[in-house]
Amino acid sequence: MPTIEVCFTPELYLQKHTKGKHITIMIDVLRASTSICAALANGVKAIIPVSEIEELKRLKMMGYLIASEREGLKLDFADMGNAPTQFLSPQLKGTTIAYSTTNGTRAINLINEQEETSIYVAALTNITTLTDFILSRSENLVIVCSGWKQKFSLEDAVVAGAYCERLMVDGVYQSVCDSSTASLDLWKLAKTDLPGYIDKCIHRHRLAKLGLDDSIPYCLTEDITPVIPFVNDGMIISIQK
């Protein structure tokens, strides 16, 4: 029986229980993973996840479109910020976007340094498509929450629990850590009033103070971007089942 493990921060991935070949999914529901799904569903060809601002500036000089934020705010040289709705423009179809965020792209690149895993990007907006794909693979799974600056974030843990529920139903996957059990319990508490529960999250209020919380309803909507974002050769692309 395949196993499921949750890491509440990317750093905990380096201490994971799961050994050998496995699938990893990265969750940054507010907002990077949701934005990546939105972009790919809208026909963006590829996304380059970038950790450092200097590398992002170099890619801009090469002619790439730039999407980026730090502390929630769009960088002054970026073409767009990090709201998923900004990735829905028809003009973006067929483009490659260099993308850098405070937490999500850093998490992807940290995981990508490990050679034993394939990496997918998870959100609520693609939960059915991605869980169906994972179930078809039947490999051990590690869910990595991007967190906030190496700290626990409630919203990512809740969405990790949503994935745990889908995958552990009927005993298809089994937990190998308390983190997956805790995530599942959080999801069971949250799912009957998800917007109300997410209102507890510090990052939700951080976005509100910046006037950037208008995309939260989009981020909390299931199955509106049926894509499977896959990290391949340093780029995130959409693959078919």
What pLDDT is recorded for position 179?
Answer: 97
Q: Average pLDDT in the 146-173 region?
A: 94
Q: Average pLDDT in the 71-88 region?
A: 92
pTM of the model: 0.96
> How far is CA 140 from each of CA 6, 88, 131, rounded to the nearest angstrom?
12, 33, 13
What pLDDT is recorded for position 73?
Answer: 86
Q: What is the pLDDT of residues 24-61, one digit of tens each?
A: 999 999 999 999 999 999 999 999 999 999 999 999 99
Three-class secondary structure assignment of the chain: CCEEEEECCHHHHCCCCCCCCEEEEEECCCCHHHHHHHHHHCCCCEEEECCCHHHHHHHHHCCCEEEEEECCEECCCCCECCCHHHHCCHHHCCCEEEEECCCHHHHHHHHHCCCCEEEEEECCCCHHHHHHHHHHHCCCEEEEECCECCECCHHHHHHHHHHHHHHHHHHCCEECCHHHHHHHHHHHHHHHHHHHHHCCCHHHHHHHHCCCHHHHHHHCCCCCCCCEEEEECCEEEEECC
Q: What is the pLDDT of residues 175-184, one digit of tens each?
A: 999 999 999 9
What pLDDT is recorded for position 171?
Answer: 86
Q: Average pLDDT in the 160-188 region?
A: 95
Q: What is the pLDDT of residues 80-135, one digit of tens each?
A: 999 999 999 999 999 999 999 999 999 999 999 987 899 999 999 999 999 999 99
Percent of the chain with pLDDT over 70: 100
Tokens linked to 14: 């380096």
Please enumerate in sequence order all residues whose Cβ is within 8 A of that of 187, keeping only pairs 6 or more positions apart, or say none.
158, 159, 160, 161, 162, 164, 165
Q: How many beta carbons lie within 10 A of that of residue 214, not counting itself?
A: 11
What pLDDT is recorded for position 167?
Answer: 97
